[in-house]
Structure 1
Amino acid sequence: MGCVPAELALRSRNGECDVELQRAASLFNPQLVEMVKGLNQEIGAHVFIAVNAYEMHMDFVTNPQDFGFVTSKIACCGQGPFNGVGLCTPLSNLCPNRDLYAFWDPFHPSEKANRIIVQQMMTGFDQYMHPMNFSTIMALDSRV
């Protein structure tokens, strides 16, 4: 949350993520995992799955080059600092290749970043998915 271009434009002078927003976001997922564990125990089956989108997101925010992005700080389409002000409109700055940007606009991941997130949901390990990824639960469900 604190690393999207909109927050960088609003709260950052040097491109650093907002510490308070990051702290709030990081507290959510451990609590979600515990809640999902409790619900699954109550039901007696792995019905609910927690997705740690924060960790997935932070992977390409902290290491954009590892995922083929040139930046995670600047949106492909926007205005102002980090292209993080306003909506994507015909008057916006537009990057030459959206696949090189982790963010499409001041708030939303690019299509390529969303594909990475979906791939992690499908096949990711418990760093991202708890108690299992979607491929595993679909395989188990197909046996029933």
Structure 2
Amino acid sequence: MAVPATVTMLLIVAAVLPIVVIRTAEARAFFVFGDSLVDSGNNNYLATTARADSPPYGVDYPTRRPTGRFSNGLNIPDLISERIGQSEPPLPYLSPELTGRRLLNGANFASAGIGVLNDTERAMRGTNGGCSAELQRAAALFNPQLDEVLSELNREIGRDVFVGVNTAQMHNDFVTNPGAFGFATSKVACCGQGPYNGLGLCTPASNLCPNRNLYAFWDAFHPSEKANRIIVEQMFSGTAEYMKPMNLTTILQLDART
């Protein structure tokens, strides 16, 4: 069912990654809510240890400087912004630069450290180089129930407003078969310390790989920019296995007709 131009489209992602896209007469405003997977710098303005405002974060960002993104370069909202034709991604809502016409672009309300589980990455709970089977089962139980909740909400509203994004499956694809996506490894993070570079955040004293494109994970928790690009591509073109009830390309096509 087509979504009217004035109605928001909310993406609920298995990793707690809600994203709202609102179409206006001139362009699409983009509002982001979530955790460190989509934080573009809000935690720079908060008293928290969950920060990405020092090197080597941002080593592959266009400015080659840390911005508060938990990535070596661009994150998921950056890449979605590119695909929907925004001149720049939405700024952190705490940024003093979020004024004037920039407000028409939307805003990013994500904050690192608000995730539900923080103890699945391999170094803490895994065995023999694999993820924690117990916690993986917990996620496998949660995600189908989330799909059903979203379907019920859409039925109550009478239109497809909520879209579920199966980021768990998107990650599992390149975790189980990294070579198919051009990665050398999905077991070891590019930047970090401890087993598999899997303890804590990345710091100037951390191990740092020379070629980030060969690693599925940038640090102990977050995909590399290359992996983020794979995730966003699935958001736009993925089948029902990844996007329910439709992908972003279909959403934007329906939106353009209304």
Residue in 1 that maps onto 2:248: 134
- Per-residue CA distance 1:38-94 (angstroms, 9 max, x = gap): 111111111110000000010000000000001111000000100011221111011
- Which is richer in strand? 2
Residue in 2 that maps onto 1:51: 165
Amino acid aligned to 2:225: E
The structural deviation recorded for 1:16 is: 1.3
Aligned match of 2:231 in 117, 125, 137? 117
Give me the TM-score of the superposition, normalised by structure 1. 0.93
Q: How many residues align?
A: 142
Amino acid aligned to 2:224: S
Once structures 1 and 2 are overlaid, which stretch shifts more, 67-76 or 20-29? 20-29
Amino acid aligned to 1:30: P
CA RMSD of aligned residues (A): 1.7
Contact 1:5 1:73 in 2 (8 A): no
Amino acid aligned to 1:46: D
The structural deviation recorded for 1:13 is: 4.2
Using the alignment, how far apart are the partners of 2:182 and 2:134 within structure 1? 28
- Which is richer in helix? 1
Residue in 2 that maps onto 1:38: 152
Q: Matched residues, percent identical?
A: 66
Q: Which residues in structure 2 correspond to 1:1-144 (within 5 Å)? A: 7-144=121-258
Runs (4+) of structure 1 moved beyond 6 Å?
none
* 3-state SS of paired residue (1:49): strand
Contiguous gaps of at least 5 residues in structure 2: 1-14, 16-117
Give me the TM-score of the superposition, normalised by structure 2. 0.53
- Per-residue CA distance 1:11-48 (angstroms, 9 max, x = gap): 23420110011011111221111111111111111111
Amino acid aligned to 1:137: I
Using the alignment, how far apart are the partners of 1:84 and 1:110 within structure 2? 14
The structural deviation recorded for 1:10 is: 1.2
Residue in 1 that maps onto 2:114: none
